[in-house]
Amino acid sequence: MIAALGLRLSGFFQRTAPDPFVLAILLTATTFILALTLPASPLGALDLVDIWADGVWSLLAFGMQMCLVLVTGHAVASSPPVAAIIRRAARVPRTGGQAVVLVAFTSAILGVLNWGLGLIAGAVLANQVGSALRNRGVAVHMPLLAAAGYLGMLVWHGGFSGSAPLKMTTASDITEVFGSQSRVLPLALNETILSPMNLFVTGGLVVLMPLLLGALSPKQGLNLAPQSEIPSPKPALRIHKPFLPRILEDTPIMTLVLVALIGTWAWRFYFPSDLSQSGITRLNPNIVNLSMLLIGLALHGTPSRYVAAIDEAARACGAIILQFPLYAGIMVLMKSSGLTAMLTSSLSASSEGGLVVLTFVSAGVVNLFVPSGGGQWAIQGPIALEAALNAGVAPEQLGKMVMAIAYGDQLTNMLQPFWALPLLAITGVKARDIVGYTAIVMIAAALWITLGLILFS
């Protein structure tokens, strides 16, 4: 019954869902019309056009951070040691249902560690598992397998690369988002990512959602073969290279220099003399990227191999580079016109428990228009946290509000295909092929997250 429902929803979205770039254009037009017709907004059509034109470039630095999260995670996933582990894991499942559970669980676990790693490794594993089962004559539904590979994006914001909690760890980041006069104080990760509430919510999602996807697996597999395989980085050619470039590029010498430099920093950051001051509770996007750079360099061994891996990974950034400015423009339109404030203006009238749940719901809605976790935090974070402070929440107790925004942001990733673009490129399926399954996951996850927010309120 559950599998039949998944097939029906998948078929519906295959017939109706637009391409992600077209969706971004539709959302831009919708936001513009809403901003233009908002009664409280004094802005005219030409004002909004100017605001939008300036706004499309407002997230360039953050866009580069997100591209680096993706390409450094991609490079780790394509490294020989990790690729070998993925190939071995792909041989484990014996049925389509087992394959879906394995891919979903792996993507979720890695997504908690780093969303780029979870997204790319999930896509690669989906391809490898699909090929392995096809070679054994076992039926597997490839769109469902690709949906399983996307599960890391359902848990990423409760993990160690989550934009909102990471942007709350330092006073400078808080000043950047909230202003110098804000009452908001820095929050250590044990108030957000490492809090009991998040361990309950994210841990439950990691365990339960793969089982749900496994239950959606149809008995008769469709689209057995992956449409495309992610190519491994091409080995560097040593012939016809002069001696010095060959030594510098195709041996680990130069890699060791950079690994030693970053490794020294990493040791001091993560393992200081006073372990209570470990940087694990003070992560931010730049630190996550530098850490992933260290891991990728170490796993690839030589500069030429790592450069080849990054070149290959950068191809997956094309659609993100194209669409990120459109969503930045949407973000600025929503903020400048008062649409975001309108969505959250009623929050401060709620009780603390109701405030957290309503913030979660509104964050899910905002994410459909602004699918950048950091961009959404920049426009909704100040409004939501100010509402919490006005409702009597102590500054040091704002961690639940931060995570409510994070949960809402990650939840509707299951409907918003923006971050699925690299996965779709790797697996060869279309967004409309997977969204029927991810929509079911979204509904179940919403119930689980709401339960967690209520239990820990």
Residues 299 and 316 placed together within one structural domain of the fold: no
- Report the distance separating Cα 405 and Cα 168, nearest Å: 13
Residues 221 and 278 placed together within one structural domain of the fold: no
> pLDDT tier at 449 (50, 70, 90 boundaries)?
very high
Give pLDDT, residue 193: 95
Host domain of residue 47: 2-234+311-455
Residues 303 and 324 placed together within one structural domain of the fold: no
- Report the distance separating Cα 185 and Cα 192, nearest Å: 13
Q: What is the mean pLDDT of residues 427-437?
A: 87
* Residue range 56-67, pLDDT digits in tens: 998 788 788 878
Nearest alpha-carbon partner for 288 in 80, 62, 63, 65: 65
Domain boundary among 252, 278, 310: 310
* Residue range 117-146, pLDDT digits in tens: 888 889 989 988 988 888 888 878 889 999
Can you give the pTM of this predicted structure?
0.80
* Residue range 290-337, pLDDT digits in tens: 999 999 999 999 999 999 999 988 887 887 788 888 888 888 888 888
Residues 360, 404 contacting (CB under 8 angstroms) = yes
pLDDT of residue 230 exceeding 50, the answer is no
- Report the distance separating Cα 453 and Cα 457, nearest Å: 6
Residues 7 and 97 placed together within one structural domain of the fold: yes
Backbone angles phi, psi at 181, to 5 degrees: -95, 10
CB atoms closer than 10 angstroms to residue 150: 32
Please give the tally of structural domains in the chain: 2
* Residue range 26-36, pLDDT digits in tens: 989 998 998 88
By the 10 Å C-beta count (0-12 exposed, 13-18 middle, 19+ buried), 163 is classed as buried
Domain boundary among 264, 284, 310: 310
Residues 306 and 447 placed together within one structural domain of the fold: no
